[in-house]
Amino acid sequence: MKNNIAIVASIVIVFGAFSNFLFPNLHLTQVEALKNFNLEKLPSISVPPVSTRDFDPVAREAWQIFQTYLQYAKVHNLEGLRSVSYQISATCNDPAKEKECNELMGGVYQFAKDFKEEYFTSTFYDDRQIVLITDNKASMVSVALVFTRDMNGNSKVLGIKWCVPEKDNQNICVETDPTKRDLDNNGWWDDVEALFYK
């Protein structure tokens, strides 16, 4: 049990190191933590034999956008990344922080490059957002890929969210129940809106 807690703690710390590429206010100590992180310490994501979403066309398009996003991140193509991202962090919007931005892009790529489409077995969407979520029944964590959609249905990457299942409760990472997901009735699901820069 202690080892499991340590692994989860490592995920939280390291995700904080690169998530400022998706979320603002990067600290240099977080970049250093990312460079020293050992990816082999991550728990594996369980892979079901068959996807429950049957590769929905909307999910397939979102997945392809995410792959493009990762390729731009890999080669530090910030302008390309802008074209498939809903928002860019303050760090990457600051020309004086090009080195830190490149480190963040490299970190995002290293952290997510081994994700497989079949890991994301559940898809939820409407005309504004898409969420792809991994199965967490056999894993310590679940992962959600979150996208926005424009009026033409085009997708852009908003963020990556890691979640630890709550005790005796299957946490699917993002609230998707239509009666609970948009409590302020503004069209954005609350868990999606929480990823927007303030």
What residues does each domain of the chain span?
2-193
Around 193, how many Cα atoms within 13 Å sit in the side-chain half-sphere? Answer: 12
Model confidence pLDDT, tens digit, residues 75-119: 999 999 999 999 999 999 999 999 999 999 999 999 999 999 988
Residue 48, pLDDT > 80, answer no
**pTM score:** 0.74
How far are the Cα atoms of 36, 56, 144, 165, 171 from residue 51, in angstroms, in the given order? 34, 10, 15, 20, 19
Residue 8 has pLDDT above 60, yes or no: no
Q: Which pLDDT score, from 0 to 100, does residue 28 have?
A: 36
Q: What is the pLDDT of residue 196?
A: 93
Confidence of residue 162 (pLDDT cuts 50, 70, 90): confident
Cβ atoms of 34 and 107 within 8 Å: the answer is yes
